[in-house]
Amino acid sequence: MTLERWFRRKKPTKGDDDSSPVGLWLKCESCNAQIYRKDLVANLYVCPECQHHYQMPVDARLELLLDEGSFEQWSGHIQATDPLEFVDQEAYADKLKAAQEKHHRKDAIVTGSGLLNGLPVALSVMDFFFLGGSMGSVVGEEIARAVERAADEDRAFIAVTASGGARMQEGALSLMQMAKTTVALERLAEKHLPFISLLTDPTTGGTTASFATLGDIIIAEPKALICFAGPRVIQQTIKQELPEGFQRSEFLLEKGMLDDVLERSKLKDKFAAYIRLLSGKVPQVTLEAEHVATL
């Protein structure tokens, strides 16, 4: 269940004798503990009792990873056009418009620049609440533009993923975003700039099978579902139960697919360490200081 739906619940989750008002108290979907909603938010959307990591809204994610006041938004200047005039039980154009109004953004992604412990970075953060974080032409283009601008501005790039995969309402064009985001990354690679991929719950399908798994360093949050084919699809194919923890971060770490699984609170400092180490030398200031000391 998504966190958003959890918050939207009409009826409060409560014990028999609990008369707390709607939404103020929540029952952890992992450990069943009663949590005060404000505590959960203050704890980076991680259950204070069992450390279960809930999906994190985009704004909170930016706040988590960037130095205060340093974020400059790049995305938001393009929007989808419904090239297929796709209609299922509802028109894609209507669905898209509703999502734009509800989430106050053009599509399922935010990109921009900022400082991470003083280091210049650019990042893209997918919004799972916006049509399941699906990747269509706009998401693909925003990522490509952000990666290229990061390369031009000598910034490390961080991609935070949360996505149901390619946006099927844009047909083969959304499939092509897998190749588009991949070729855009070449600019970054040519300048030897670090690309850190942070996989959060859930990251699936075409997103996993493209830029998300091309990070120089690939990190996942605890117990995130990360896969190509979703558990239901696999179950239909093999007609048997899936093992416990299958396709979760810890399982993938064991299989050699990730560099590490990190708790949310540790991400920023770890990322800073990776970027510093990948730059190949200790920061300039320290070098000069050492030079002076030896004179």
Partner 1 sequence: MSLPFEKPIDDLEAKITDMRSYAEEQGIDLSEEIGLLERRLEQLKRDTFANITRWQRVQVARIAGRPTGLDYVANVFTDFEELHGDRTLGDDPALVTGLARLGEQTVIVMAQQKGRDTKENILRNFGMMHPSGYRKAMRMFDLADKFRLPIIAMVDTPGAYPGLSAEEQGQAWVISECIQRMSRLKVPAISLVIGEGGSGGALAIAVANRVLILENAIYSVISPESCAAIRWRDSSEAPQAAEALKLTAYDLLDLNVVDRVIDEPLGGAHKEVDATMAIVKSVLLQELGDLLKLDEVSLLEQRRARFRALGRFEEVLEAA
Q: Which residue, 54 or 206, is less far from partner 1 as judged by CB?
A: 206
User: C-beta of 268: minimal distance to partner 1 in Å?
Assistant: 25
Q: Which stretch binds partner 1 (CB under 8 A): 50-58, 178-186, 264-272, 283-291?
A: 178-186
Q: Which stretch binds partner 1 (CB under 8 A): 35-43, 162-170, 260-268, 283-291?
A: 162-170
Q: Which amino acid is at 176?
A: M
DSSP conformation letters of 249-293? HHHHHHTT--SEE--GGGHHHHHHHHHHHHTTS--HHHHHHHHHH
> Of 9, 33, 50, 79, which lies in the binding site for partner 1, with binding defined by CB under 8 A?
79
Q: Tokens at residue 80, please? A: 């989808």
User: C-beta of 85: minimal distance to partner 1 in Å?
Assistant: 9
User: C-beta of 92: minimal distance to partner 1 in Å?
Assistant: 9
Q: Which stretch binds partner 1 (CB under 8 A): 47-55, 86-94, 150-158, 287-295?
A: 86-94
Q: What is the largest CA-CA distance in the chain?
A: 76
What is the Cα–Cα distance from 108 to 128, expressed in whole angstroms?
A: 7
Cα distances from 61 to residues 53, 57, 81, in angstroms, run: 13, 6, 28
Q: Which residue, 12 or 171, is less far from partner 1 as judged by CB?
A: 171
What is the Cα–Cα distance from 232 to 246, expressed in whole angstroms?
A: 12
Interface with partner 1, residue 104, by CB under 8 A: yes
Interface with partner 1, residue 138, by CB under 8 A: yes
User: C-beta of 276: minimal distance to partner 1 in Å?
Assistant: 26
What is the Cα–Cα distance from 146 to 139, expressed in whole angstroms?
A: 11
Interface with partner 1, residue 171, by CB under 8 A: yes
Interface with partner 1, residue 7, by CB under 8 A: no
Interface with partner 1, residue 173, by CB under 8 A: yes
Any bridge partners for residue 45, and if so which? none
Cα distances from 152 to residues 80, 223, 278, in angstroms, run: 26, 35, 18
Q: Tokens at residue 163, please? A: 């996505």
Given a contact cutoff of 8 angstroms between Cβ atoms, the answer to whether 207 and 228 are in contact is no
Sites for partner 1 among residues 222-251 (CB under 8 A): 226-229, 233-234, 237-238, 242, 246-247
* Binding residues vs partner 1 (CB under 8 A): 73, 75-81, 83-84, 86-89, 100, 104-106, 136-138, 140-141, 144, 166, 168-180, 182-186, 205-206, 208-214, 226-229, 233-234, 237-238, 242, 246-247, 255-257
